[in-house]
Structure 1
Amino acid sequence: MPGGAGRPRVRMTGAQRRQQLLDVGREVFAQRGYDGTSIEELAARADVSKPVVYEHFGGKEGLYTVVVDREMQRLLDRFTSALAAGGSPRELLERAALVLLDYIEEDTDGFRVLTRDSPVGGSPDGYASLIGQVARKVEHILGAQFSARGQDPALAELYSQALVGMVALVGQWWLERRSPGKEQVAAHLVDLAYNGLARLRPPPGGP
């Protein structure tokens, strides 16, 4: 069956076509955002008809949701692997910061998709949800440190959200600059956070 400009359309299995559409969607959503992307452009980039996109994902929103979910899982898997290796609390926090910076550098399209606004009815608060999941992985590291220092371990949730949110925001800034190096950025961020945690004031009403 001929494609555009007289080119033969490549035949794919259903699984191959689905993967191709996911890859195309990731690229286009990263470039244009959800609202700026049309089903016509997605189909044209994949060299298929619009009904093919609807057949696999039910439309643009369905494709976007799967792309976001796939990127979230990809990044969470990186965090899980990095934190499972063990080490001191400071090493673990620095490794966690570096995981996000590595992802930004190596999977820039995926990061751009995650940091754009989600559509109404789509994958709600995708990036915020992702950051919350990452923060929960960091929370157990801080909780042990709080207990050891006589602080309320329940505060670890607040501080893990603050720490991961700081790294995520700096990561967006670093994406446009790529300077200083990501290892330096991770070290400085953890330096700021870790030194601040080491000097926490006693809880109100405490000794």
Structure 2
Amino acid sequence: MSRAEREAQILEVAERVFANDGYQATSMDDIAAQVGLSKPMLYEYFGSKEGLLIACLRRSKRELLEATSLAAAQAESSEQLLYDCLLAFFRFGDEHQQAWALLRNESSIADTSVNTELEAIRIQQRDFTADVLRKVREELDDEQAEAYAELIIGASERLALWRENRPEVTAERATEHMIALFAPGLGF
């Protein structure tokens, strides 16, 4: 197995263990045993448990941006652009439940570098969303686009959390709720 393949395997297992057991309760021994590696080898790859968690978060960050960027690239109208990007966000949570669990359980992790990485994910999505909003409404200035993007990101996160207790609410339905809320203010 190549180093890249081994790292991907480790990240898959670590993400699952962190999501299921929580960061604090997870040990490198747990992850090493499930991957079939020695604990020193995990440290060789990631340096620490924190380093492993940060690698998981960075992978999620990259995959979320890829999913929303692909949705944006395929949209055929301004209205469809916002809808498709929101839908991609909710589908990402559905399709990457372990990654979503890591992102939503951030308050249980008291480490500055981990929280910095979590905030970097939000900033990435805020900047992406602000760019989408500028395409939808070209007259928005930078402050308005960022403020609206923050509102959309915050509302999307809360709606995703709400959906965890409402499994009957599909990603499509959640997206429809978001559009109903924000479309009037965006002029469509």
Q: State the AA in 1 paired with 2:128.
A: K
Contact in 1 for aligned 2:32/2:42 (Cα 8 Å): yes
> 1:135 maps to which residue?
126
- CA drift at 1:170: 0.5
User: Equivalent pairs: percent with the same residue?
Assistant: 27
Whole-angstrom distance in 2 between the partners of 1:13 and 1:157: 41
**Secondary structure of 2:55's partner?**
helix
Whole-angstrom distance in 2 between the partners of 1:99 and 1:195: 21
Q: Does 1:103 align with 2:95?
A: no
> 1:116 maps to which residue?
105
CA spacing shift, 1:154–1:147, aligned 2, 3 Å? farther
Q: CA RMSD in A?
A: 2.2
Contact in 2 for aligned 1:34/1:119 (Cα 8 Å): no
Structure label with greater radius of gyration? 1
Q: State the AA in 1 paired with 2:66.
A: D
Q: Does 1:172 align with 2:154?
A: no
- CA drift at 1:77: 0.6
> 1:39 maps to which residue?
28
Contact in 2 for aligned 1:90/1:190 (Cα 8 Å): no
Whole-angstrom distance in 1 between the partners of 2:133 and 2:8: 39
Q: Does 1:90 align with 2:85?
A: no
**Secondary structure of 2:113's partner?**
coil
| TM-score, normalised via structure 2 length | 0.86
CA spacing shift, 1:127–1:169, aligned 2, 3 Å? farther
> 1:157 maps to which residue?
146
Query: Which whole-Å deviations, capped at 9, do the CAs of 1:54-103 have from their partners, x for residues lacking one?
Result: 12111211111111101110011111111122333221111111111111
| TM-score, normalised via structure 1 length | 0.79
Q: Which moved more, 1:14-23 or 1:27-36?
A: 14-23
**Secondary structure of 1:178's partner?**
coil
Whole-angstrom distance in 2 between the partners of 1:153 and 1:50: 47
Query: Which whole-Å deviations, capped at 9, do the CAs of 1:34-59 have from their partners, x for residues lacking one?
Result: 21211121122223221121121112
Figure out how many residues of one structure are paired with residues of the other and give that number. 186
Structure 1: give runs of 5+ residues left out of the alignment: 1-11, 200-207
Whole-angstrom distance in 2 between the partners of 1:74 and 1:146: 26
- CA drift at 1:147: 4.9
Whole-angstrom distance in 1 between the partners of 2:78 and 2:122: 19
Q: Does 1:193 align with 2:167?
A: no
Contact in 1 for aligned 2:87/2:172 (Cα 8 Å): yes
